[in-house]
Amino acid sequence: MSHPLFDLTGRRALITGSSQGIGLALARGLAEAGAQVVLNGRDAAKLAQAADRIPGARVLAFDVTDHAGVRAAVDGFEAEHGAIDILVNNAGMQFRAPLEEFPADAFQQLLQTNVASVFNVGQAVARHMIGRGAGRIINIASVQTALARPSIAPYTATKGAVGNLTKGMATDWARHGLTCNAIAPGYFDTPLNAALVADPEFTTWLEKRTPAGRWGRVEELVGACVFLASDASSFVNGHVLYVDGGITASL
């Protein structure tokens, strides 16, 4: 039997960008800890397929970059189904190009998908959490919140912003009973990283650069997420938790 501090029975969690990859793994992990999960994305068919894999899962399709649409979807869901107790802001994208050639439209898309989405969904859900005096917000940052690599400078900027927005959320909302923290994954084998996983040269570099000597598995993010979603982290606020095999700890 799991420790009661980590038991999420009776709580409901909304996970953005959860039809695949890290978001889906976190949704499954939260469900296994007892939460009812609400999957989000823009592709209704992919969401339905993902929900079929998680007992009791609901779906809530909306575009995280549409501020008004996000608020309408969240308000409508709360009115019809009840409280969202846990929010995982996972939706994100990547685009790689040398900075001097980086397309301006791709930069704007990164800002909207990786940063504005955290503001949009975080604000919409927090308004309800504040009224109840409780809530857990978990933003998905990145090893790039602290480090940079060639060809992804704008992505690095967005993940740095996620880390600081997390601190800002905690500063504004902790007094209302919310905890707002971030998980910063290192290099994980996900659809977003498919091109890198398929590159033997990059994988060799990563295995040498990471003290753990390998790619991360998405299931290895679940423990951190359950911790930050549960009563076990009741006095943890504004923290960025790196789950990276030690890559940020070593030169």
Residue 44: burial class (beta carbons within 10 Å; 0-12, 13-18, 19+):
exposed
156-192 per-residue burial string, b: 16 or more CB within 10 A, e: under 16: bbbbbbbbebbbebbeebeeeebbbbbbbbbbbbbeb
Distance CA 180, CA 229 (A): 10
Which is catalytic among the residues 155, 173, 188, 215? 155
| Residues whose CB falls within 8 Å of the CB of residue 125, separated by 6 or more in sequence, listed in order | 14, 74, 84, 87, 135, 137
Point out which residues pair with 58 in neighbouring strands. 38
Does residue 155 carry a catalytic annotation? yes
Kind plus residue range of the DSSP H or E element containing 50: helix 44-51
Q: Which two tokens stand for residue 207?
A: 């295995």
Give the three-state DSSP class for 140: strand
Active site residues: 155
